[in-house]
Amino acid sequence: MPLVEVTHRPDLPEAVLLELGARLPHLVSVAVECPEEPYDHELRPGDVEVRFRPWGRFDRCGVDVVIEVRSKYFDSRAGNRQERCDELLTELEKFIDAEIGIYLSLPVAAWAQSE
């Protein structure tokens, strides 16, 4: 279950943010898919959590949008994490006209969720 945090310049158009919110769950699921957590293209509640935050007045940012993806560590994910980042960036650049940064973190973690 990836956690995704999107920090962005405050004047980024709402239409862009809405598009990100609609597309990120699928795109991130494709980016982190692995044998241990296969993606069946049927997202359910809790599969991908996306949070948005405009820059605060003390934030210092070098790009318009930073997308941080945190997903559980598996060797099969870690082996090609840079390729996964690059592919996600390529997909996002197809519909976002802004400077984008992607940060993929694969911590050793566990997840539990109520039904």
What is the CATH number for 44? 3.30.429.10
pLDDT for 1 beyond 80 = no
Domain carrying residue 19: 3-105
Q: Is residue 113 part of a domain?
A: no
Cβ atoms of 37 and 31 within 8 Å: the answer is no
Strand partners, 43: none
Number of compact structural domains in the chain: 1
- Record the pTM: 0.91
Cβ atoms of 100 and 67 within 8 Å: the answer is yes
Determine the distance from the C-alpha atom of residue 68 to the mean position of all C-alpha atoms in its chain, rounded to a whole number: 6
pLDDT in tens, 53-105: 999 999 999 999 999 999 999 999 999 999 999 999 999 999 999 999 999 99
Identify the pLDDT of residue 108.
Answer: 84
